[in-house]
Structure 1
Amino acid sequence: MKRYFLLFPVLLWACGGQDSQQAQTETPATETASAVHASTLVFLDKSLSVNANKAFVTQKYTKAINELVQSGIQNAGDEVEVWLLHENTAKGKALELTAHSEMGSTEGMSPTDIEAAKTTYDLSLQKERTGFAKQIVDQLEIPNDSKSNQQTDIRASLDAINQKVSEGYSVKAYFFSDMVESMKEAGRRDFHRTPPASSTEAELWAKSDAKTILGKYPNLPKASIRMVLPFEPTASSKINNPAISEYWKVLFKELGVGSV
């Protein structure tokens, strides 16, 4: 009997330990991970070098805006931010739009009622998308008559992108711009005065500039960036300097941007 009573607490401890370990193992599996919402950042160039009222530009930009809203707004909590690119881009946020349409619980519903609820949800979400796209296009058409149109601080947009990723969003950024950075301060680029003469020079400049700001934007590798240029396919290299686009592609990649 002594041997029995000595073993019994040990057996209880062992069983209790297994239950405890099992509970600890199972707990994470039963937790529901919070959804990652999408944040679409739209940067509209409001400097003198871009005329968004040209028929080709309006058509191209409107189409791209409709597409990005359609793909970026999928669930409640997904958002679109609109920023204006000019001399003071850092303070250029113009719109912040968040989707609120929710499907809701369908527990206990018949298949017919579930289908009706889904249709209602889809219509509500599409209505929000349509409204968002219209507001962005409206921003596109508003002229910038202030002195801020004399320069374009594209690099300042990186702060907004980096910040959004840090908030836990899945971030896609779209630049509706000719990408002509034009800042007169020391250590900045003014592509109006001195554009890169070749892709090779653009690459050298981009890598050099990236070294000076590397580490400031640790979250950029989790973002994707797309440039929507305002040029017709037949535009000459004098109008659409491919070396400028190359500069930004290299700079973004050097800073670790996930997709360009």
Structure 2
Amino acid sequence: MQPTIAAAIRGALMERDVRTKVMTTRKVARDWQRGKLAFAFDVEMPETPGRPDAPELLMPGRMPKRRKGGSERGRIALWHALAHIEFVAIDLALDMAGRFGAAMGRQFVSDFLKVAADEAMHFALLDRHLRTSGSHYGALPAHDGLWSAAHETRHDVAARLAVVPMVLEARGLDVTPMTIDRVRAAGDERGAQILERILDDEIAHVRFGANHFADCAERMGEQAGELWKSLVSRYFHGQVKPPFNDSARLAAGLSRDLYTALA
């Protein structure tokens, strides 16, 4: 009997070992592409994914402030924070496909498994870069607020799409070019190239979210822009704020009129 996509995704989500989660996620995406997994949702997704013993996860208010400037400690803290974002993004994409795939269909599953595989690759690149600096993922504490957006929108695919790809990931489009410039100015060309690769992929990830959100709005008989503003106001507890990378956002399917209305 063919294994199911839901069981495969849940297995990857529950994996606690960092390296194994990366490899398992990429295998799930490959197996799905090759038709080795049945389109069946016979198990539920976990409320919380498997987490490694390290890093220690802290609430935002308890996180140590990163020092500005070009110190070695500051550079390691930056790369560690970026690696943690990509590690949590693996689980966000897996959960999106596994939790909502039955209702949203095969293309939705394919798109978000591709996102999960990309995030796994991004994490591996960042962790390897950390190791060249004499550190590794888990060496510093990390932010525990990233999964909360997934938890709060676990019953509503439109809300999940509105907040995770179209707000949180879209914010990455805004800040990454400035980080690339800073990293390159510090002489870290390899780091800059990694971030450029991530930025290109994240544009596609936000576009997946925007396209599937538009489909949701159409199914619901709602105007996509008004629905997005309503859901973000309800479920996103931060601010949608400039500066915006308008060209990257437009390439990802986000019009300026949409997000400036909430800025």
TM over 0.5: no
Which band: TM-score by shorter chain? Answer: under 0.3
TM-score by length of 1: 0.23
Which structure has more helix as a fraction of its residues?
Answer: 2
Q: Which TM-score applies when normalising by structure 2?
A: 0.23
Structure (1/2) with the larger strand percentage: 1
Bigger Rg, structure 1 or 2: 1
